[in-house]
Structures are given as C-alpha cells and as structure tokens.
C-alpha cells in the first residue's frame, strides 16, 4: 500500500509544498539523531576493541574484528554526514516556501559531503585522498581541506577531519523539538477551530 507522507501531520493538511518540506525536515532531523547514535556506538566499541587488542589476551579481538569495526564506522559516519546534509537542504527549502531567510550554509558539512560523494574519483596515497587535479571542478572539495587532503583513518574528535559530531547531533535535536512544538500548536489550533465551528452550529 502506498504511504502518504502527510499522514504524519496531526490534522488534515493542505498538502502544500511548505507542508511537504516541513515533513522532510523532520524525516532528516530524526535520521541524524538515529545515525549519530549508531556512529557513537561503533566508535565506543572500536575504542574498547583497540584497547583489548593491545592486551593480546586470548579473548582479545583479532585484526579482522578491527577491520570490521572500521568498515562499519566508515559507513555509519558517512550516512550521518549525508543525513545532516539532507537536513540542511530541506531546512533551506522550508524557509524558501515560507518566505523566510534560510539558515546559513554549513561550509564544513558541504565540503565533507562533496568530498565523500566524489571520493571514488580521488587520488589515494598513504591513507589519504587528494584531488586528482590541481584545478577545475573535479576534486575541488578535497583541495579545500587542511593539507588539501582527507585522511582515510577514522576516530578522534571530528567526523572526516572537519565536523563536530556532537554539534551535528545537537542541531538535529533542536530542529526536531521545534517541529514537534509547531505541529502541536497546529493541532491545538485545528481543534479549537473545530470546536468553534461545532459551537456555531449548535447555536
């Protein structure tokens, strides 16, 4: 059965572009929160496994487990970046539909997103991705990274060298809370309007 995105609204919507944009903002804000949790979970597991690997005990994880952690961590953090970028894009669209000034673009988020999107085109040397060309559109994002390269290692306090994962998560939480408040206000207004109409009919 086809799903109607407007079923998520608490009252009968007018299915306007602004309504759909708001729906997509909520979709991606919630996705960021989920992905942030997943990324944090695998980071913690990887840190524990690294320490236990160094102990070299019988129960210590082996190199294959560490490699599996890396693969999972890369995928989860990549998806977190993608979700955060989609959230930013839809927040901009919602502001446009409402005639408002869109939120300022997160330059670091765009750089990381663009670099990951075109990573398969990069030059790969010494655990780093660099631009395949010195100028032009190809590899432009990578040329704007510190040292003009993206390290292919993971861990540390940043996502792909530039992004603060806690800030990404907190921003998404704020968006979700603001949308929930707005939807509750809309539901209350719709209920009050309905009760007013019923009162008028009964007169």
Strand locations in the chain (E): 123-125, 128-130, 149-151
Instruction: Count other C-beta atoms under 10 Å from residue 66's C-beta.
Output: 14
pTM: predicted TM-score of the whole model, two decimal places = 0.83
Residue-wise pLDDT for 16-63, tens only, equals 999 999 999 999 999 999 999 999 999 999 999 999 999 999 999 999
DSSP class of residue 128?
E
Phi and psi for 104 in degrees, rounded to 5?
-65, 145
Helices (H), 56-164: 63-97, 107-117, 140-143
- Whether residue 11 is predicted with pLDDT greater than 90 in this model: the reply is no
Residue-wise pLDDT for 89-101, tens only, equals 999 999 999 999 9
């Amino acid at each position: 059965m086809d799903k109607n995105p407007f079923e998520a609204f608490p009252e009968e919507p007018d299915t306007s572009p602004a309504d759909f944009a708001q729906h997509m903002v909520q979709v991606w804000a919630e996705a960021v929160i989920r992905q942030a949790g997943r990324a944090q979970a695998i980071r913690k597991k990887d840190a524990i496994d690294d320490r236990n690997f160094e102990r070299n005990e019988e129960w210590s994880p082996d190199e294959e487990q560490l490699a599996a952690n890396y693969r999972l961590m890369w995928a989860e953090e990549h998806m977190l970046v993608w979700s955060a970028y989609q959230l930013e894009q839809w927040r901009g669209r919602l502001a446009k539909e409402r005639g408002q000034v869109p939120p300022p673009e997160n330059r670091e988020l765009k750089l990381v997103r663009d670099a990951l999107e075109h990573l398969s085109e990069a030059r790969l040397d010494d655990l780093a991705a660099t631009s395949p060309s010195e100028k032009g559109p190809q590899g432009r994002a990578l040329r704007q990274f510190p040292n003009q390269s993206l390290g292919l290692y993971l861990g540390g306090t940043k996502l792909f060298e530039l992004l603060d994962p806690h800030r990404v998560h907190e921003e998404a939480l704020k968006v979700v809370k603001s949308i929930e408040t707005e939807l509750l206000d809309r539901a209350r207004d719709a209920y009050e309007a309905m009760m007013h109409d019923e009162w008028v009919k009964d007169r």
